[in-house]
């Protein structure tokens, strides 16, 4: 928890002074407590994009962007990716500690037994065009879940929060797989309780009635690691969307649907799909320089997808694990020649030596390599952000629970710097 230390900052505005408490966390930058600023000095802070604003106190994830450090409840992401599995990391994010064997079994069973969806939910898919983007389906279907599970929408009841949290984590892969199957025109698969979380998702995505489905351990293990790498990431855009939606008292299903909507943007979770499309557009190593120059051109809105990050001004630790996994999976799958990977590696090499990228501290982020692995697994680019949403649902649910139980949290309602017209009288039509 935050401890108030005796250090204070003094703000002097015109002839008024205000002492601001400096609050320290367990690690990372301190924060200036400005909660009294408006009432005392009659002014707001101004921080478009919230680059220097702490919106909450949290114990879930810590990022040191300068050093490329990512901790989940204190555990480095590299160690979790190497030694843990997705449901264990989910338990950690939700509860603060790694589960012992009894907790692990209870949690895994609870998730397993909630993986089926209400049979009537299937009707929602029929309303979408077959070529609908699966993220459109995810936003719609997840938002509708509250109408099927009204018994777990009371956010003030800890038991209902627990059930809705587990239902969301359990059902999101089923809903995602159904969106994929619907786009293919193939029948939906029911979850199989004998499979683990990642195996089950792959089975629901790739199993067809015409033949027996065989789980490929290389792919299910790689998918599990990719889910771990995407599970949570502090107060990113979609997590902040979930928190602010939750701060109004909206039910958890609606909040997660709002997170999915925010994640879809190409500047955020949609970047993994945009990276693959960009690599395909580059097409060959010879074209890389042209695209790098475009990305550097102030007058060209084009940016290198998969590069840059609001927080990381060093290599995104998830990208390093993802790059390693990419080589591992392609080797194990016997993919000898993947031109997109060759282009990605060459692009990374060129960009990391280019002054523009060095000065602006633009490094590959989590989305740069993930798509190449997902493509090798058989997923189309439209499904990449859906997979990101499957993983991030755990982080959103953990952050939503933390926000609901935070005694100082209240409805999120930022102010503004108003630069519009000052008061004026109405002008009748005949006088305009
Ligand atoms: C995710 O926040 C999270 O934690 C997100 C995430 C998570 O796990 O939740 O990590 C997941 O969203 C990763 C990011 C995926 N997005 C992309 O790969 C899209 C490409 N990247 C950029 O659009 C950008 O880097 C952002 C959106 C990621 C960050 O934007 P910021 O922090 O607002 O940075 P900025 O736009 O202010 O850029 C700073 C400068 C600008 O140049 P100047 O105006 O200072 O001259 O760097 C330039 C930008 O033009 N820049 C880029 C660039 N990213 C930033 N130039 C070229 N290519 C890029 N990719």
116 vs 338 pLDDT, higher one: 116
Q: How does pLDDT run across 402-431, given as a tens digit for each residue?
A: 999 999 989 999 999 999 999 999 999 999
Cβ of 327 below 6 Å from ligand 1: no
Cβ of 367 below 6 Å from ligand 1: yes
Cβ of 295 below 6 Å from ligand 1: yes
362 alpha carbon – ligand 1 mean position (Å): 8
Q: How does pLDDT run across 126-178, given as a tens digit for each residue?
A: 999 999 999 999 999 999 999 999 999 999 999 999 999 999 999 999 999 99
Q: Kindly write down the DSSP assignment for every residue of 53-79, as one continuous string.
A: ------SSEEEETTTTEEEETTEEHHH
Q: Mean pLDDT, to the nearest integer, of 296-301? A: 95
List, by residue number, the catalytic residues: 309, 367
Q: How does pLDDT run across 84-108, given as a tens digit for each residue?
A: 999 999 999 999 999 999 999 999 9
Residue 6's pLDDT is: 66
Name 389's Cβ contacts closer than 8 Å, sequence gap at least 6. 135, 138, 172, 176, 259, 260, 263, 269
Q: How does pLDDT run across 235-270, given as a tens digit for each residue?
A: 999 999 999 999 999 999 999 999 999 999 999 999
298 alpha carbon – ligand 1 mean position (Å): 14
Instruction: Ligand 1 pocket test: pick from 263, 274, 303 the residue with the most ligand atoms within 8 Å of its Cβ.
Output: 303
Phi, psi (degrees; rounded to nearest 5) at 364: -60, 140
Measure the CA angle with vertex 392, ends 75 and 139; round to 5°. 170
35 Cα distance to chain centroid: 28
Minimum CA distance residue for ligand 1 atom 36: 310
Minimum CA distance residue for ligand 1 atom 51: 308
Cβ of 40 below 6 Å from ligand 1: no
Asked if pLDDT for residue 3 goes beyond 80, the answer is no
Q: Is the pTM of this model over 0.85?
A: yes
Phi, psi (degrees; rounded to nearest 5) at 60: -90, -55
Q: How does pLDDT run across 6-30, given as a tens digit for each residue?
A: 699 999 998 899 999 999 999 999 9
Tell me the pLDDT of the chain averaged across its residues: 95
Q: Which of 201, 223, 241 is nearest to 111 (CA)?
A: 201
Cβ of 361 below 6 Å from ligand 1: no
Please answer whether residues 290 and 343 qualify as being in contact, where contact means their C-beta atoms are separated by less than 8 angstroms.
no
Asked if pLDDT for residue 1 goes beyond 90, the answer is no
Cβ of 306 below 6 Å from ligand 1: yes
Distance CA 34, CA 411 (A): 17
């Amino acid at each position: 928890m935050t401890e108030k230390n005796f250090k204070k900052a003094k703000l002097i505005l015109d002839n008024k002074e205000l002492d601001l408490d400096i609050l320290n966390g367990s690690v990372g930058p301190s924060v200036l407590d400005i909660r009294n600023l408006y009432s005392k000095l009659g002014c707001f802070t101004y921080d478009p994009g919230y680059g220097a604003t702490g919106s909450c106190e949290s114990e879930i994830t810590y990022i040191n962007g300068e050093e490329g450090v990512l901790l989940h409840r204190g555990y480095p992401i590299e160690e979790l990716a190497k030694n843990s599995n997705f449901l264990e990391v989910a338990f950690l994010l939700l509860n603060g500690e790694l589960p012992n064997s009894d907790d692990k079994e209870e949690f895994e069973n609870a998730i397993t037994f909630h993986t089926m969806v209400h049979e009537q939910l299937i009707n929602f898919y029929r309303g979408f065009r077959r070529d609908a983007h699966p993220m459109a389906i995810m936003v719609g279907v997840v938002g509708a879940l509250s109408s099927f599970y009204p018994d777990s929408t009371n956010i003030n009841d800890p038991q209902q929060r627990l059930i809705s949290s587990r239902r969301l984590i359990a059902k999101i892969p089923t809903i995602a797989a159904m969106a994929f199957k619907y786009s293919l025109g193939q029948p939906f698969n029911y979850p199989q309780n004998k499979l683990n979380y990642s195996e089950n998702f792959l089975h629901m995505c790739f199993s067809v009635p015409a033949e027996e489905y065989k789980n490929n351990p290389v792919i299910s293990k790689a998918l599990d690691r990719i889910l771990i790498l995407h599970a949570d990431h502090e107060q990113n855009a979609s997590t902040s969307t979930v928190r602010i939606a939750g701060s109004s008292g909206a039910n958890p299903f609606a909040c997660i649907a709002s997170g999915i909507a925010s994640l879809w943007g190409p500047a955020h979770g949609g970047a993994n799909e945009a990276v693959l499309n960009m690599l395909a557009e580059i097409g060959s190593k010879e074209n890389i320089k042209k695209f790098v120059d475009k990305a550097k051109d102030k007058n060209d809105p084009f940016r290198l997808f998969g590069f840059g990050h609001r927080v990381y001004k060093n290599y995104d630790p998830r990208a390093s694990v993802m790059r390693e996994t990419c080589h591992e999976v392609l080797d194990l799958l016997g993919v000898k020649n993947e031109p997109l990977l060759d282009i990605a590696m060459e692009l990374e090499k060129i960009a990391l030596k280019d002054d523009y990228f060095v000065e602006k501290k633009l490094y590959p982020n989590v989305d740069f390599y993930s798509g190449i692995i997902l493509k090798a697994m058989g997923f189309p680019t439209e499904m990449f952000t859906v997979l990101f949403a499957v993983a991030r649902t755990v982080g959103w649910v953990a952050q939503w629970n933390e926000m609901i139980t935070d005694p100082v949290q209240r409805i999120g309602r930022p102010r503004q710097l108003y630069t519009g017209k000052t008061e004026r009288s109405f002008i009748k039509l005949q006088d305009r």
